[in-house]
A and B are shown apart, each in its own frame.
Chain A
């Protein structure tokens, strides 16, 4: 594992770590990097960002993601579709019925024999039970409703089921996570396991957990889903991106949710 592919990664890091103030990327410092084996002890991205952005997340007045939660609350009780129903008509008060739900997604769905995440479940509910139009992914409506639902699980540990039928999706997600891709020839693991906590130009590399989604990303100035972040990451290593809601990203989402198991849901988190 520590043969030439590793050295090629090192060469890249040498380039991108050459910023003022960053420690010099000697071979020794790389070897001494903390073994950030994510499965040992997952650390939320919250701990890898600056105090000012932490403050933005901690204060519900300042946290721009709360705007989405408020909008989601309106959508929750808005009657839509031919059956004259809202989410609330069946689920009642989200504070009770949705508590802990987001922490269990994605999960295997018997009916469709497929993996579903929070967003695809919302659309399935809208189409099947409300006769309402599906929300296109990444729209304000979808992100807001997902944020409102996830918000009800804030502080609860992320815990997904990976046994049984879910196992094959988990396997696929794991394979995706460890596969090197793109012009930079990097796997997710090479940064988020081996180099977590180290600098990538102005950023600190996090362990890449998914406990804060949907999140508000300062760089985008908008809310975003897990899958949008996956697309961004793939794009950043100049790799092929997959569609939002694609089987590739759903499987990866399951693997990552498992990998960060036990981390508290932070939705809506704020990230740089």
Chain B
């Protein structure tokens, strides 16, 4: 598992039944495979092709990404806070790397 620069925003606490916003940002060039370097070499495609957000092991937000996603992909979604638990986030790189991060949510 390689490292990547990731930013996660999940409120640490929420009331039961509250709608919370989850935000993630990952630094990634998202090379779409159609660009050429200064030397005229084609820059091979290397994108994050899948994003998964799990809560207590269960998928809550999953997306397949394609070439048109801009560098440094940002994802924001809303979730209903029903129980305390742990968000896990996974980004799947074309090169086989998986970047992971997590955040705790406490429902009071």
Q: Do A and B come from one complex?
A: yes
The complex places the Cα of A62 from the Cα of B9 at a distance, in Å, of 11
Please determine whether A62 and B70 come into contact, CB atoms closer than 8 angstroms: no
A67 touches B23 (CB 8 A): no
Q: Across the A-B interface, give the 3 residue pairs with the lowest CB-CB distance, nearest first.
A: A221-B71, A64-B72, A67-B27
Asked if B23 and A61 sit within 8 Å, CB to CB, the answer is yes
Knowing A67-B27, A221-B29, say if A61 contacts B72 (CB, 8 Å): no
Is B25 located at the chain interface by the 8 A CB criterion?
yes
Partner of B25, one of A62, A71, A218, A221: A62
Give Cα A177 to B5, complex, Å: 39
Any B CB within 8 A of the CB of A70:
yes
Chain A residue numbers with a CB within 8 Å of B13 are none
Q: How large is the interface on A (under 10, 10 to 19, 20 to 34, 35 or more residues)?
A: under 10
Instruction: Pick the contact of B5: A61, A67, A218 (CB < 8 A).
Output: A67
Roughly how many angstroms separate A136 CA and B70 CA in the complex, as a whole number? 27
Interface string of B51-79 (1 = CB under 8 A from A): 00000000000000000001110100000
Complex A-B: 22 CB contacts under 8 Å = A61-B7, A61-B9, A61-B23, A61-B25, A62-B25, A62-B74, A64-B25, A64-B27, A64-B71, A64-B72, A67-B5, A67-B27, A67-B72, A70-B5, A71-B5, A218-B70, A221-B29, A221-B30, A221-B70, A221-B71, A221-B72, A222-B71
| Contacts of A89-132 to chain B: CB distance below 8 A | none
In Å, the complex CA distance between A227 and B74 comes to: 28
| A87–B74 alpha-carbon span in the complex (Å) | 32
- B34 to chain A: closest CB distance in Å? 13
Residues of A within 8 A of B72 (CB): 64, 67, 221
Q: B5 contacts which chain A residues (CB < 8 A)? A: 67, 70-71
A57 to B70: give the CA distance in the assembly, Å: 16
Please, which residue of chain A has its CB at the minimum distance from the CB of B70?
Answer: A221
Q: Which residues of B contact A67 (CB under 8 A)?
A: 5, 27, 72
Interface residues in chain A, defined as those with a beta carbon under 8 Å from any beta carbon in chain B:
61-62, 64, 67, 70-71, 218, 221-222
Q: B residues engaging A (CB < 8 A)?
A: 5, 7, 9, 23, 25, 27, 29-30, 70-72, 74
| Residue in chain B with minimal CB distance to A71 | B5
Q: What is the bound-complex CA distance between A242 and B71, given in angstroms?
A: 28
B4 smallest CB distance to A (angstroms): 10
CB distance from B80 to the nearest CB of A (A): 22
Contacts of B7 in A (CB 8 A): 61
Q: For the complex, give the distance between the alpha carbons of A62 and B21 in Å.
A: 14
Residues of chain A contacted by B30 (CB below 8 angstroms): 221
Note all chain A residues with C-beta closer than 8 A to B71.
64, 221-222
Report the minimal beta-carbon distance from B43 to chain A, rounded to whole angstroms: 12
In the complex, chain A residues whose CB is within 8 Å of the CB of B29: 221
The closest CB in chain B to the CB of A66 belongs to: B7
Additional A-B contacts beyond A61-B7, A222-B71 (6; CB < 8 A): A61-B9, A61-B25, A64-B71, A67-B72, A218-B70, A221-B70
Q: Which residue of chain A has its CB nearest to the CB of B6?
A: A67
Alpha-carbon distance between A64 and B27 when the two chains are bound, in angstroms: 8
- Chain B residues within 8 Å of A62, by CB: 25, 74
**How distant is B28 from chain A, measured CB to nearest CB, in Å?**
10
Q: Which residues of B contact A64 (CB under 8 A)?
A: 25, 27, 71-72
Cβ–Cβ < 8 Å partners of A61 in chain B: 7, 9, 23, 25
Q: For residue A268, give the distance in angstroms from its CB to the closest CB of chain B.
A: 13
A67 to B74, CA, bound (A): 13
Query: In the complex, A70 Cα to B5 Cα: how many Å?
Result: 9
State A71–B29 Cα separation when bound (angstroms). 16
Residues of A within 8 A of B70 (CB): 218, 221
